[in-house]
Amino acid sequence: MKKILIIGSQGYLGSRLIDYLQEYGYNCTGVDVGFFQYGVLYHPKPVPMLDREARTLTERDLEGFDVVLLLAGISNDPFGNLKPEVIYDPTREYAIRIAKICKKLGVRYVFPSSCSVYGINEGTLSEDGPTRPQTHYSLNKLQIEQDLAELADSSFSPISLRLATVFGASPRIRFDVVINMLCGMAVAEKQVVLNSDGQAWRPHLDIEDVCKAFRCCIDWDYDEGKLLVLNVGRNDNNWKIIDVARLIQSMVKGCELKFMDQSTKDDDNDLVRDEKIQDGIDKRTYQVLFDHVHQILPGFQAQWDVERGVDRLIKDLERWELNESRFKQREFYRLQQIEFLYQTKQIDENLRFN
């Protein structure tokens, strides 16, 4: 069975992906800096860990692996007085450095990008559609794709999976992504609070389908000598945020739908507030076409639509008896957790532990 190195193994995706791959019998090893190691909703299966992080991995560390999945990265806005380049430039640097090592060693390299690179767009976009990243995070993903495209040749065929907005249960769940947040609110607080008018479109993707996409990439001997970019999701999972909110409200008895007053500072809504939303309008809106991944990626078929995935997530959260205190636990929110580590001087301005 193939040996897989998951870099970023203690994040939202990594924690579920390692469990998933081990269930299928893959030999997995993890690497993680440890920012979110203690934010555990339920306990993941144990996995061997390298005493490294993405920035310190060497060629020797990667020897013997068949596939590297580079999940590590910063997925929130800059914070404190740190400039975006301080946050994101290192991510770009280690992404391409690790890719170069993989190229030298003949190791397959799979990178999770994001449909957020489409930013503000009209129509339904394929992989060839225009990219208009609206955040430093999205720009960073696009820049790494561009670097990988330049590195690709007859000896190196990396894959970039542009994931729709992921939702679903994971040992280290994120409650700062839209469906997870709204489901968490509904179960823990019996309310769904929107920080915008909800008219923005987003493509959504169940975490189980994410894991399946990675597994199919692991098993596929793609060798076309160029970067392969695939949108990963389902066409029928392009939903407006307001429609997702109404669906979730309808599935939890006694749940109310509310709209947050952006002009009022309210500690109860600090986790929901988004500075990129002005006057109740989220300008980031896009719909994405997912035909290509189903045509080209062997064995892949996204199985979870929004309704089924939301129903399963709500039942999971109710089974784990999610309450308000647990829902608001800092470690489940990426920006708040990293900023806490920085403000308490546990990590320095280079995001390294002191």
Higher pLDDT, 156 or 75: 156
Nearest Cα residue to 127 out of 233, 19, 222: 233
Residue with tokens 């301005």: 349
Of 61-65, 236-240, 347-351, least confident by mean pLDDT is 347-351
Q: Angle at the Cα of 184 (from 303 to 287), degrees rounded to 5?
A: 45
> Could you tell me the two tokens for 275?
């500075």
Do residues 73 and 88 lie in contact, with contact meaning Cβ atoms separated by under 8 Å? no
Q: What is the pLDDT of residues 199-250, one digit of tens each?
A: 999 999 999 999 999 999 999 999 999 999 999 999 999 999 999 999 999 9
> Could you tell me the two tokens for 221?
């001997």
Instruction: Kindly report the three-state secondary structure assignment for every residue of 93-150.
Output: HHHHHHHHHHHHHCCEEEEEEEHHHHCEEEEEECCCCCCCCCCHHHHHHHHHHHHHHH
Average pLDDT in the chain: 91
Cross-strand pairs, 49: 30
Q: What is the pLDDT of residues 70-82, one digit of tens each?
A: 999 877 665 666 7
> Could you tell me the two tokens for 88?
């994101």
Higher pLDDT, 183 or 88: 183
Do residues 39 and 333 lie in contact, with contact meaning Cβ atoms separated by under 8 Å? no
Higher pLDDT, 79 or 30: 30
Q: What is the DSSP string of 311-332?
A: HHHHHHHHHTT--HHHHT-GGG
pLDDT at residue number 122: 81
Higher pLDDT, 168 or 84: 168
Other residues' Cβ atoms within 10 Å of the Cβ of residue 95: 23
Do residues 283 and 204 lie in contact, with contact meaning Cβ atoms separated by under 8 Å? no
- When pLDDT is cut at 50, 70 and 90, the band that residue 275 belongs to is low
Side chain identity at residue 63, one-letter code: E
If phi > 0 it is left, if psi is from -120 to 50 it is alpha, else beta; for residue 272 that is: alpha
- When pLDDT is cut at 50, 70 and 90, the band that residue 121 belongs to is confident
Of 183-187, 274-278, 312-316, least confident by mean pLDDT is 274-278
Rounded to the nearest 10 degrees, the angle between the axes of helix 178-189 and helix 306-319 is 40
Residue 8 neighbours by CB under 8 Å, 6+ apart? 14, 31, 32, 54, 70, 71, 72, 73
Q: pTM for this one? A: 0.93
Cross-strand pairs, 238: 203
Q: Highest mean pLDDT: which of 65-79, 192-206, 285-299?
A: 285-299
Other residues' Cβ atoms within 10 Å of the Cβ of residue 243: 13
pLDDT at residue number 273: 53
Do residues 176 and 332 lie in contact, with contact meaning Cβ atoms separated by under 8 Å? yes
Inter-CA distances, 148 with 88, 90, 102, 113, 306, Å = 16, 15, 12, 12, 32
Instruction: Kindly report the three-state secondary structure assignment for every residue of 47-90.
Output: CCECCCCHHHCCHHHHCCCCEEEECCCCCCCCCCCCCHHHHHHH
Res 263 pLDDT > 50: no
Do residues 303 and 169 lie in contact, with contact meaning Cβ atoms separated by under 8 Å? no
pLDDT at residue number 7: 98
Higher pLDDT, 280 or 132: 132
pLDDT at residue number 153: 97
Residue 307, classed as helix, strand or coil, is helix
* Domain boundaries defined on the chain: 3-174+203-238+285-305
CATH architecture of 3-174+203-238+285-305: 3-Layer(aba) Sandwich (3.40)
**226 DSSP assignment:** S
Q: What is the pLDDT of residues 81-107, one digit of tens each?
A: 678 888 888 899 999 999 999 999 999
